[in-house]
Amino acid sequence: MKPGIHPEYGPVVYQDMSTGDAFLTRSTLAGSAQRSRETIEWSDGKTYPLVKVDMTSASHPFWTGNARVLDSAGQVEKFRRRYGSRQKG
């Protein structure tokens, strides 16, 4: 590998915003400019960068088996206002 061209790879905590579940893993986000400014103290007593995400396997309908509408931006309501409830007939 060429030195100096690869992003830093380090520990990061991802937190699911819909369930609150969090997990510690390694990511290139640990050293990038996109890194979260927030940090969290993990159970090992160390502080790690925190990345908040809308969905993980803990809340995704495919993995949980629960079908639900995940609409964080109001897209369903926007669609209903624009097109209303059209009935066949």
Q: State pLDDT tens for residues 12-43.
A: 999 988 888 899 999 888 665 455 588 889 99
Q: How far is 79 from 85, CA to CA, in rounded Å?
A: 10
Considering the entire predicted model, what is its pTM? 0.59
Q: How far is 17 from 70, CA to CA, in rounded Å?
A: 11
- Is the pLDDT higher at 11 or at 83? 11
Q: Round to the nearest angstrom and report the end-to-end CA distance of the chain.
A: 65
Q: How far is 61 from 18, CA to CA, in rounded Å?
A: 12
Q: How far is 10 from 5, CA to CA, in rounded Å?
A: 16
